[in-house]
Amino acid sequence: MANKVIISGGGTGGHIFPAIAIANALRRLQPDIDLLFVGANGRMEMDRVPAAGYEIVGLDIQGIDRKSLWKNVGLPFKMLSSLLKARRLIKAFEADVAVGVGGYASGPLLMMANALGLPTLIQEQNSYAGVTNKRLGKKAKKICVAYEGMDKFFPAEKILLTGNPIRRSSIQIEGRKTEGLASFGLQKGKKTVLVTGGSLGAKTLNDCVLGGLEQFVDQDMQVIWQCGSYYYEALKNTLIDRLPVSVVLLPFLQRMDYAYAAADIVVSRAGAGTISELCAVGKPVILVPSPNVAEDHQTKNAKALVSKGAALLVSDVSARTNLVDTILSLATDESKCFELSEQISKLAMLDADELIANEVLKLIDK
């Protein structure tokens, strides 16, 4: 009889991509394994997971809205209905183990799994654990983490340092720089900067690039500018007659491998999944952590790299003043670029997906 695993979580690409990577690894190890995803209705996992070939069921759950407190009135009822639905799903599916990767759906699904005596595994992507995962960690059998020192959040005996699962297709860049540049219509021999604010984009990064266009052109630099689908139309209209040919404006990067391969320097937010990819890619990185995340965990993620000499950090609040100058300075400092590349490459953990998948299967065997 095939083993059965429920994987819960989502909300952002930073949760969805690791979840899918773990599922793919489980399927490689056990081709007949039965997998079911549980996400939050209305969130991107409800589209992305089926596109990856897996079944998903949605819970009617949301996070706390800190900007509009009245919108939280129905939250207790949504939590109760999600717990009851999670109970029905676990029993109907006859799950052997439940995996939580973070996101709204992880809470009720893993809470109910623990209540039913089902073994649970948490995959904590960040260097600073959120409130929900800290609570769930008390009853979890195994907690897979990407950073050292996580015993301040979880029982040390449950922790396994695995790294974060990454999209393997995104980091296959060896010998593909020419191909990557050509895919964006860019030239060989010019310093190329990749600026990425994630699938939704980052206003701070967009404002910085917009303000620095003339400086990039003056320094004969090329820019791959992934601005996010939310900002793309407005930026395209603003720049309709004055976007330099050396700057490629895109809402979303369909081929991260080409973008990473083409880039000499990467400027990015500091989400855990992105950082794991950047470690594997091994390019010099400038991180601009988003301030709009729980417990400011992106800053903590970034500082974990900076402390090892593996990245530069520019705060969001100072980015409009300092980011372009930092990019231009790094672009002309070959020794610093080499040092950053060397140090970030040492942090790469390429087999996190299979390490975690094996831990899931061990819980079933027990």
Q: Residue 338 pLDDT more than 60?
A: yes
Encode pLDDT of 105-153 as tens digits. 889 999 999 999 999 999 998 888 878 888 899 999 999 999 888 999 9
- 316 falls in which pLDDT band (50, 70, 90)? very high
The count of C-alpha atoms lying within 13 angstroms of the C-alpha of 303, restricted to the half-sphere facing its C-beta, is 9
Average pLDDT over residues 183-206: 91
Q: How would you list the strands of the sheet with 34-40, edge to edge?
A: 56-59, 34-40, 4-8, 97-100, 120-124, 142-145, 159-161
Q: Which two tokens stand for residue 144?
A: 């897979």
Q: CA torsion, points 211, 216, 218, 219, in degrees to nearest 10? A: 150
**Cα radius of gyration rounded to whole Å, the chain:** 21
Q: Of all helices (H) and strands (E), which one includes residue 4?
A: strand 4-8
- In this structure, of 167-181, 278-292, 327-341, 346-360, the range with the lowest mean pLDDT score is 167-181
Distance separating alpha carbons of residues 9 and 21, to the nearest angstrom: 13
Q: Write the pLDDT tens digit of every residue in 292-307.
A: 876 788 999 999 999 9
Handedness of CA 177, 182, 188, 190 (dihedral sign): negative
- 3-state SS, residue 35: strand
- At residue 214, does pLDDT exceed 90? yes
**In sequence order, which residues have a C-beta less than 8 Å from that of residue 63 and are 6 or more positions away?**
11, 104
- Which run of H or of E encompasses 152? none
pTM of the model: 0.82
Which whole number is the average pLDDT over 184-194? 96
- What the block records as the tokens of 38 is 């549980």
d(C-alpha 64, C-alpha 290), whole Å: 18
Q: Name the strand (E) or helix (H) holding 145.
A: strand 142-145
Predicted local confidence at residue 42, as pLDDT: 85
Binding residues for UDP-N-acetyl-alpha-D-glucosamine: 12-14, 126, 167, 199, 298
Among 72-86, 216-230, 232-246, the range of highest mean pLDDT: 216-230
Query: What is the sign of the dihedral through the CA atoms of 296, 83, 123 and 43?
Result: negative
Q: Which residue type sits at 201?
A: G
* pLDDT digit string, tens, across residues 13-67: 677 888 999 999 999 999 999 999 998 888 888 888 999 999 999 888 766 555 6
Indicate the annotated binding residues.
Answer: 12-14, 126, 167, 199, 298
Q: What is the pLDDT of residue 62?
A: 65
Q: Where is pLDDT greater, at 285 or 167? A: 285
Domains of the chain from N-terminus onward: 4-165+350-365 (3.40.50.2000), 169-345 (3.40.50.2000)
Sign of CA dihedral 10, 12, 14, 16: positive
Q: CA-CA distance, 224 to 247, in Å (whole number)?
A: 6
Instruction: Indicate the pLDDT class of residue 275, thresholds 50, 70 and 90.
Output: very high
More confident residue, 322 or 199: 322
What is the predicted pLDDT for the residue at 75? 64
Name the residue among 36, 45, 20, 40 with its Cα closest to residue 108.
40
- Nearest Cα residue to 236 out of 218, 260, 214, 210: 210
Contact (Cβ atoms closer than 8 angstroms) between residue 146 and residue 352: yes
Instruction: Give the pLDDT confidence score for residue 176 in this predicted structure.
Output: 93
How high is the mean pLDDT of the chain? 91
Residue 10 region by backbone torsions, left for phi larger than 0, else alpha for psi between -120 and 50, else beta: left
**Integer Cα distance of 348 and 283 in angstroms:** 12
Percentage of residues in the chain with pLDDT exceeding 70?
A: 95
**Cβ–Cβ < 8 Å for 257, 309:** no
